[in-house]
DNA sequence: CTGAAAGCGCTTACAG
DNA sequence: CTGAAAGCGCTTACAG
């Protein structure tokens, strides 16, 4: 049915090994022979069976990528960056989105760990962290990225310095003279919060636990609720740090509703520098995280391990975030300075 | 190195065919034997080599999906929906994002058309439309979806009734009494514009060509520019239809800047009902398109073709859009009615 | 530079 | 219900 290497060989009057040689280029072939083979390939519209090649070579030219979702500007950029690098290197992308469903993630991981990928990149610690032991017997390199919680020692990690991201947000607000601040945080963002706290600790200030308001869902609505709660708990607040831009958007809306003008009455700092946020009024001051650079480093490390057929260097690589000052932050309004307890 | 079926067989004291039989379940195996085999599998942590299985069966349990990008709420939902259906059916997803790069798309398509996928779903007509002939010799089913331009007869198409989407937007504005309207359109959205026009034609009204303003980029900035141009060209405008929500967002901003209040002085209708738009003030009236239902229909049709190993039914399936009325549209302000030339 | 042989790890009829 | 054989379509040493 499908035309095979053997068909090409017969047509060109050579054996299939010679056809293989002209295709792979591993072994030199006399130009005249090669030309005949190439002609036969064209005439028969022959295209090699990649599966057979994979079985023979033990390599699939496919890299698996796990992400929690693709419907977020963070992960969609990660996916595109990864795919770019793969495409440029002749690799295919097998995508698994785990969707906050650990059981699903486990199933997918199990279904993959038969030699159907040459390497695996796991972005995001949310769903897969408990199932990593499944990879114990894996014969392909694994790299972790976008990891915020403590990463297992076993695998190389390429991630963002989230602690520093929080710190940059905090330092900015502190330098603007803010002393009464709150944090709107997603449950998993403890490291960002910790960095934020460190920035204030330098001045002997403490961001109290009850100044951290958790937004269960990373949505504007969640940010709105958290910001409303924060402002209700401490009307004297002069600034808030949202650990996710989308929460900051909700905070802007809450300020509007409560009649507090941003940035004069309330400064707002976000985190991520997502594209969606370009629209916000006022333009959001935020901590930009180099997600594309992170993704690139991660796949490149993975690919290097594949081609060298060695384990990737077991290191923790932290990409540096950057503060982007726009219009949602300003100096703290003058009023009696009160350090929080 | 890797443990193989043969290893399991030896350990269980049977031949590898028996191991294969207990794994595939195709041939009944005596319970006692099966138990021994299963024990051996567990002890050796054996996991079958999918590549070898693929070569033997001629099936890869992998479906290829082409999308222009993953960084849009439209396509990211399509990808997730497709992956859901695949996962539920034991298939893997090979993702290719074409990124408005026809040459890249061509390369990816060529690299795939060797038996490495069981089926191919192509979402979006932007990049691949010129390269479809490459698929001429493909031995796997192909389905097209999210197709707005004329689709090739050769392949089944599952898409949105974009003409009707435009029509619904137009009918809504017409019923609200709007007569001087403009369209803000992405270059490829001619079908939506055509449907919009049809709604007005029913009343003998014409939406002139110069009332259609093209936004080259699907960004709020693009919508802002197009809306500004439209309002400059005809200050008497009472409504605009944006063929993409993100353009509508820009139009809202333009109205704000120009001091026209929405919906009292200007009605705005969007298209897509994207999640990003939930934030807009006023809440955007828009045409919702059933992208998930579309994606589901498309993969399911594809999978049916794979399992039946027949070509999918060559049909054009159009999913129905729906108008969602929110706060950005209102009755046209009273003023002398002038039908556009 | 070209050809004959073995093998990658499975599955699939086909005998027993 | 279990085993022996052939084959899926390539690649990889190894002779010539």
| DSSP assignment string, A59-106 | --SEEEEEES-SSSHHHHHHHHHHHHHHHHTT-EEEEEE-TT-HHHHH
Intra-chain end-to-end CA distance of chain A, in Å: 78
Whether residues A229 and A84 fall in one domain:
no
D strand bases under 7 Å from protein CB: 1-5, 7-14
Using the beta-carbon criterion (under 8 Å), do B77 and A62 form an inter-chain contact?
A: no
Q: Range with the lowest mean pLDDT among A38-42, A143-147, A332-336? A: A332-336
A55 touches strand C (CB under 7 A): yes
Using the beta-carbon criterion (under 8 Å), do A114 and B47 form an inter-chain contact?
A: yes
CB pairs < 8 Å spanning A and B:
116
Are B162 and B194 spatial neighbours (Cβ–Cβ below 8 Å)?
no
Say yes or no: B279 contacts chain A, CB-CB below 8 A: yes
Whether residues A47 and A86 fall in one domain:
no
* Nearest neighbour of A48 by CB, restricted to B94, B108, B114: B114
Tokens 């594309």 — which residue? A292
Evaluate if residue A340 carries a pLDDT over 60.
no
Restricting to A residues 90-129, those with a Cβ less than 8 Å away from any Cβ of B are: 90, 92-97, 99, 104, 107-108, 111-116
- The reply to whether A334 falls in a domain is no
Whether residues A215 and A300 fall in one domain:
no
Q: What is the pLDDT of residue B339?
A: 46
Whether residues A176 and A281 fall in one domain:
yes
Mean pLDDT of B157-184: 97
Mean pLDDT of B167-188: 96
Peptide bond connecting A263 to the previous residue in cis, omega within 30 degrees of 0: yes
- The reply to whether A333 falls in a domain is no
- The reply to whether B175 falls in a domain is yes
Evaluate if residue A337 carries a pLDDT over 70.
no
Whether residues A193 and A283 fall in one domain:
yes
Whether residues B181 and B262 fall in one domain:
yes
Q: In this predicted model, what pLDDT tens digit does every residue of A73-115 receive, in sequence order? A: 899 999 999 999 999 999 999 999 999 899 999 999 988 877 7
CA B303 remoteness from chain centre: 17
Of all residues in chain B, what percent carry a pLDDT higher than 70? Answer: 98
Restricting to B residues 130-189, those with a Cβ less than 8 Å away from any Cβ of A are: 137, 139
Instruction: Name the 3-class secondary structure at A123.
Output: strand
Whether residues A106 and A86 fall in one domain:
yes
Work out the burial of residue A194: count CB atoms within 10 Å of its CB; fewer than 13 is exposed, 13-18 middle, 19 or more buried.
middle
Of all residues in chain A, what percent carry a pLDDT higher than 70? Answer: 98
Evaluate if residue B120 carries a pLDDT over 90.
yes
Whether residues A206 and A177 fall in one domain:
yes
Are A281 and A295 spatial neighbours (Cβ–Cβ below 8 Å)?
no
Mean pLDDT of B146-161: 92
> What is d(CA B206, CA B200) in angstroms, rounded to the nearest whole number?
6
- Helical spans, DSSP H, in chain B: 5-12, 16-24, 31-44, 50-57, 73-88, 102-112, 162-175, 190-201, 220-233, 245-257, 291-308
* Nearest neighbour of B55 by CB, restricted to A52, A94, A275: A52
Phi and psi, residue A79, nearest 5°: -60, -45
User: Which residues from B are below 8 Å from A50, CB to CB?
Assistant: 114-116
Whether residues B283 and B294 fall in one domain:
no
Q: What is the pLDDT of residue B340?
A: 47
Evaluate if residue A341 carries a pLDDT over 50.
no
Whether residues A173 and A183 fall in one domain:
yes
Whether residues B100 and B218 fall in one domain:
no
- The reply to whether B335 falls in a domain is no
Q: What is the pLDDT of residue A325?
A: 97
> What is d(CA B98, CA B107) in angstroms, rounded to the nearest whole number?
10
Q: In this predicted model, what pLDDT tens digit does every residue of B228-241 receive, in sequence order? A: 999 999 999 999 99
Assessment of whether the complete model's pTM goes beyond 0.85 = yes
Cα pseudo-dihedral B63, B66, B71, B75, rounded to 10 = -80
- The reply to whether B259 falls in a domain is yes
Cα pseudo-dihedral A14, A17, A20, A21, rounded to 10 = -90
Q: What is the pLDDT of residue A15?
A: 86
Q: What is the pLDDT of residue B275?
A: 81
Using the beta-carbon criterion (under 8 Å), do B2 and A115 form an inter-chain contact?
A: yes
Mean pLDDT of B131-158: 89
> What is d(CA B18, CA B9) in angstroms, rounded to the nearest whole number?
8
CA A263 remoteness from chain centre: 30
Using the beta-carbon criterion (under 8 Å), do B87 and A108 form an inter-chain contact?
A: yes
Mean pLDDT of A143-153: 90
Mean pLDDT of A173-177: 97
Say yes or no: B56 contacts chain A, CB-CB below 8 A: no
Instruction: Name the 3-class secondary structure at A120.
Output: strand
- The reply to whether B341 falls in a domain is no
Whether residues A179 and A32 fall in one domain:
no
Q: What is the pLDDT of residue B337?
A: 46
* Nearest neighbour of A51 by CB, restricted to B45, B55, B276: B55
Say yes or no: A190 contacts chain B, CB-CB below 8 A: no
- The reply to whether A335 falls in a domain is no
Range of the domain at A223: 162-288
> What is d(CA A329, CA B230) in angstroms, rounded to the nearest whole number?
34
Q: Range with the lowest mean pLDDT among A100-109, B15-24, B81-90? A: B15-24
Domain count, chain B: 3
- The reply to whether A328 falls in a domain is no
């Amino acid at each position: 049915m499908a035309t095979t290497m053997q068909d090409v060989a017969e047509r060109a009057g050579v054996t299939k090994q010679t056809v293989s040689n002209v295709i792979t280029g591993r072994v030199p072939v006399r130009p005249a022979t090669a030309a005949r083979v190439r002609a036969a390939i064209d005439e028969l519209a022959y295209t090699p069976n990649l599966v057979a090649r994979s079985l023979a070579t033990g390599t699939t030219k496919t890299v698996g990528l796990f992400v929690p979702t693709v419907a977020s500007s963070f992960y969609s950029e990660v996916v595109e960056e990864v795919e770019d690098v793969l495409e440029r290197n002749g690799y295919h992308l097998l995508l698994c989105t785990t969707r906050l469903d650990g059981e699903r993630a486990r199933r997918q991981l199990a279904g993959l760990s038969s030699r159907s990928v040459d390497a695996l990149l796991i972005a995001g610690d949310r769903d897969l962290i408990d199932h990593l032991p499944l990879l114990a017997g894996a014969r392909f390199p694994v790299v972790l990225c976008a990891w915020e919680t403590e990463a297992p020692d076993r695998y190389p990690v390429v991630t963002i310095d989230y602690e520093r991201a929080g710190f940059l947000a905090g330092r900015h607000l502190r330098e603007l003279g803010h002393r009464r601040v709150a944090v709107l945080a997603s449950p998993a963002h403890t490291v960002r919060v910790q960095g934020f706290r460190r920035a204030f600790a330098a001045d002997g200030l403490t961001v109290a636990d009850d100044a951290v308001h958790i937004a269960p869902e990373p949505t504007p609505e969640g940010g709105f609720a958290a910001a409303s709660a924060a402002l209700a708990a401490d009307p004297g607040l002069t600034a808030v740090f949202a650990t996710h831009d989308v929460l900051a958007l909700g905070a802007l809306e809450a300020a509007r509703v409560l009649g507090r003008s941003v940035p004069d009455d309330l400064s707002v700092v976000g985190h991520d520098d997502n594209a969606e946020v370009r629209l916000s009024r006022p333009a959001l001051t935020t901590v930009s995280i180099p997600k594309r650079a992170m993704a690139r480093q991660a796949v490149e490390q993975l690919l290097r391990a594949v081609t060298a057929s060695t384990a990737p260097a077991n290191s923790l690589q932290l990409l540096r975030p950057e503060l982007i000052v726009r219009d949602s932050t300003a100096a703290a309004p003058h009023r009696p300075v009160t350090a929080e307890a």
